[in-house]
């Protein structure tokens, strides 16, 4: 009953799908006609809602008997009848028959609720397990690592989608030529599947990992390349410059926001947990750019082997990636800075 939704700042498609997501059970009634097909889709609104629901909801499907459906509706009915997981199917002849069938089926699934609640502790634990093993080698380049996990936990990408070269090309295009470049254009990229995850890499340590649950892991080098060619400028590798971390946090969050919007355009993921860490910085000090410019040859350094630098963990609504990005950057940057010796 979409006409009962009231005014919303979303498209009709998102409004209907969000209404579906708040339901406990989906009742699908298929008659003779396929229904309205929105201009931006090849599927009817009901067909879209069914495909959304079947991944996360109990679906009770009832197909009218004795009808002559058109080709689109016949294909829709065949798709529903072929689907096995989480689906009850029944037939009906008239409205009274349908009422009795729906009542019996709803009774059988009264306690069912296939959509798990948002569990921030579970999301945070998942984000921490996705951080790579930390490097404590003082010769290793400094890397910013950012993990963004969405909830409620559910599959966002099918295996075939993660293998699709179109997705790989889109990630590479965004990382190389997006408004905030993640990759160095002078260096080539490689892509591969690592288990069930899609990974796009560059040789200096920058890489992107995308999981079937819609999690995005980004690694960005903090050290600048040598002016003579490839590699790092280790003469300036004694410090972490605050503005450099701030800038790269913005790049990583922008890239993650664009990627999540692309793979989950109807906003199934509503909450986020963000985990951020600096690695390869065991012996470095922290400075602002002004402090580094004023005194470039002296810095208070870490001793190595000292206290563990724990990842910074934040929880946020998905909209914060776009609406509160500066606040997110600050809320990550300040705890990271506190893990280093005071600037001198």
Q: Tell me the per-residue pLDDT of 11-36, one tens digit each, with 9 for 90 and over.
A: 666 777 777 877 878 899 999 999 88
- Residues 66-75: what's their mean pLDDT? 94
In angstroms, the CA 248 to CA 266 distance is 28
Residue 227 has a pLDDT of 45
Number of neighbouring beta carbons within 10 Å of residue 275: 24
Distance (Å) of CA 314 to CA 120, 128, 158, 324? 10, 12, 27, 13
Partnered with residue 316 across adjacent β-strands are: 272
- Residues 247-275: what's their mean pLDDT? 92
Query: Who has greater pLDDT, 275 or 298?
Result: 275
């Amino acid at each position: 009953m979409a006409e009962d939704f009231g005014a919303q700042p979303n498209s009709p498609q998102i409004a209907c799908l969000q209404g579906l997501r708040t339901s406990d059970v989906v009742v699908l009634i298929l008659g003779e006609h396929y229904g309205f097909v929105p201009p931006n889709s090849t599927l009817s609104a009901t067909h879209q809602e069914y495909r959304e629901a079947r991944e996360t909801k109990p679906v009770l499907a009832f197909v009218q008997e004795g009808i002559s459906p058109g080709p689109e509706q016949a294909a829709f009915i065949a798709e529903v009848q072929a689907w096995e997981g989480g689906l009850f199917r029944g037939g009906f002849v008239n409205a009274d028959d349908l009422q009795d069938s729906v009542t019996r089926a709803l009774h059988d699934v009264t306690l069912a609720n296939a959509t798990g609640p948002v569990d921030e502790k579970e999301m945070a634990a998942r984000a921490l397990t996705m951080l790579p093993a930390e490097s404590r080698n003082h010769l290793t380049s400094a890397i910013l690592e950012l993990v963004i996990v969405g909830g409620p936990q559910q599959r966002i990408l099918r295996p075939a989608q993660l293998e699709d070269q179109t997705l790989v090309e889109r990630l590479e295009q965004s990382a190389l030529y997006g408004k905030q470049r993640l990759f160095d254009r002078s260096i080539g990229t490689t892509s591969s599947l690592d288990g069930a995850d899609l990974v796009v890499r560059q040789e200096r340590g920058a890489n992107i990992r995308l999981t079937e649950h819609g999690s995005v892991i980004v690694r960005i080098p903090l050290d600048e390349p040598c002016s003579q060619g490839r590699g790092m400028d280790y003469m300036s590798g004694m410090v972490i410059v605050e503005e450099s971390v701030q800038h790269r946090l913005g790049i990583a969050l922008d890239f993650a926001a664009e990627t999540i919007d692309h793979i989950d355009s109807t906003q199934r993921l509503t909450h986020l947990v963000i985990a951020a860490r600096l690695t390869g910085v065991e012996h470095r000090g922290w400075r602002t750019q002004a402090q580094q410019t004023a005194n470039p040859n002296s810095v208070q350094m870490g001793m190595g082997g000292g206290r563990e630098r724990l990842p910074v963990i934040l929880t946020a609504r998905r909209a914060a990636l776009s609406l509160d990005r500066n606040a997110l950057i600050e809320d990550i940057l300040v705890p990271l800075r506190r893990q280093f010796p005071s600037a001198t």
